[in-house]
Amino acid sequence: FQDQAEQFFRSGHTNNWAVLVCTSRFWFNYRHVANTLSVYRSVKRLGIPDSHIVLMLADDMACNPRNPKPATVFSHKNMELNVYGDDVEVDYRSYEVTVENFLRVLTGRIPPSTPRSKRLLSDDRSNILIYMTGHGGNGFLKFQDSEEITNVELADAFEQMWQKRRYNELLFIIDTCQGASMYERFYSRNIMALASSQVGEDSLSHQPDLGIGVHLMDRYTFYVLEFLEEIHPASQTNMNDLFQVCPKSLCVSTPGHRTDLFQRDPQNVLITDFFGSVRKVEITTETISLDRDLAGFEREFPEDELATEPLKYAEQLPVAQIIHQKPKQKDWHPPGGFILGLWALIIMVFFKTYGIKHMKHVF
């Protein structure tokens, strides 16, 4: 039993999380949503439950007025596979997909009122899969056409996660143009990164669908998904196979990967370590002996339960505190050196130009 236990414990994680982010909105970015939803489907199929998946989507595809097949998002030509389905659980949708929310999810600095489904409650034995897709450039990733996240910020966020031991191992997959620039700056331990294209290259989309009118998927994710279709929860395929997934002939761009920060050899890392959720189990061989007669049937039910008044919804929010708060007195600070120097310069120039005799009008 010990060697089997060794094998089970090879990766050292006890639970799996997935953070899937689609950073684009608008109808012509259909393929990014389809990418993310397809990865979501695979990850659910391989065992990670919704409670452990944080899905961030603009979610404006399925009910978009331009969608000829409402309430569906297809990932395959000829509308073979509807990845939207009946049970998709989007945690951050539409305008909630911002850089700030993404970083809050990663670092855990979330306002206390956030529901549990929107939190990443990982611990030091969690393996996390982070998948990002959208439009990117050299060193940044565009979020919803209005802001961007740089690779430095992302690396810092991962470092904060590592400092607080919010992950055991992390797999970062990015499918954007020049995706490899996003993982260049990582410096925390136990991170493995994959990208769909190198710096200077664009990631291309796969197939347009004439019925829907847009490109349905990106090439890299399409081939990754074909690869994942063959994985089942008990498979022993390792990461080296995932690295080979989309050669230049199929993908046109050159996928890259980074494993120098990772402790284990990619040969030993199973795909299901990140994409699935294979639990470590042990047979229970001990029992305790309970004395049935002693069991306090004569114990009174605790009647000392404090009767708390049912709180009205409004009372649970500290509205009173917020409304009646006096505006805080802002302390007056003397102007800083830069402003002082600038004004001194301006005054000097003025009086030099117009003559000193005007000073007496001022003072």
Partner 1 sequence: QVRLVVPIAVAFSPGSVPTDLPRPLPFRDDQEMEITVNLRTTVTSHYEVMYRGTTAQEEAALAAATAREADAALRPLQGVSMGSLTMYVVPETSSLLPQGISVYVGKHRSALVRAGGSLAALQARLQQVTQLMSFTATSMAAALSDRVPDGRLSPDSRRSLKSSLGYEITFSLLNPDPKSHAVDWDIEGAVNCYVKPVLDKLSLVANFSVDSQILYYAVLGVTPRYDKESSSFLLSTHSLPHVINPVEARLGSSAASLYPVLNFLLYVPERSHSPLYIQDKDGAPVSTNAFHSPRWGGIMVYNVEASASPQASLPLHVDVDMARVMEVFLAQLRLLFGLSREELPAEFLLESPGNEGLADWELDHLLWAHTVENIATVSTTLTSLAQLLDKIGNIVIKDDVASEVYRAVASVQSAVAKLGKGHLHSAFQASKEAVTSSERAFFDPSLLHLLYFPDDQKFAIYIPLFLPMAVPILLSLAKIVRETRQRKKEPTKMD
H or E stretch at 275: none
**CA separation for the pair 192, 131 (Å, rounded):** 12
Q: In what order do the strands lie in the sheet with 256-258?
A: 92-93, 53-57, 15-22, 126-133, 169-175, 191-195, 256-258
Contact indicator for 48, 17 with CB cutoff of 8 Å: yes
**CA separation for the pair 102, 154 (Å, rounded):** 10
Between 188 and 198, CB nearer to partner 1: 188
Enter the tokens of residue 52: 């452990």
Spot the catalytic one: 22, 177, 246, 251. Answer: 177
Q: Is 257 a catalytic residue?
A: no
**CA separation for the pair 129, 125 (Å, rounded):** 13
Q: Is 135 a catalytic residue?
A: yes
- At closest approach, how far in Å is the CB of 108 from partner 1? 5
- At closest approach, how far in Å is the CB of 201 from partner 1? 28
- At closest approach, how far in Å is the CB of 286 from partner 1? 5
**CA separation for the pair 311, 308 (Å, rounded):** 8
Between 245 and 271, CB nearer to partner 1: 271
The DSSP secondary-structure symbol of 91 reads S
Contact indicator for 49, 277 with CB cutoff of 8 Å: yes
- At closest approach, how far in Å is the CB of 164 from partner 1? 6
Between 168 and 197, CB nearer to partner 1: 168
Contacts of 85 (CB under 8 A, 6+ apart): 41
Identify which of 225, 189, 219 has the alpha carbon closest to the alpha carbon of residue 202: 219
CA 151, 153, 158, 163 dihedral sign is positive
Provide the 10 A C-beta neighbour count for residue 356: 8
- At closest approach, how far in Å is the CB of 361 from partner 1? 21
Please name the residue that has the structure tokens 């639990």.
Answer: 279
Between 62 and 99, CB nearer to partner 1: 99
- At closest approach, how far in Å is the CB of 240 from partner 1? 21
Contact indicator for 46, 231 with CB cutoff of 8 Å: yes
Would you call 190 exposed, middle or buried from its count of C-beta atoms within 10 A (0-12, 13-18, 19+)? Answer: middle
Enter the tokens of residue 220: 């890299």
Active-site amino acid positions: 135, 177
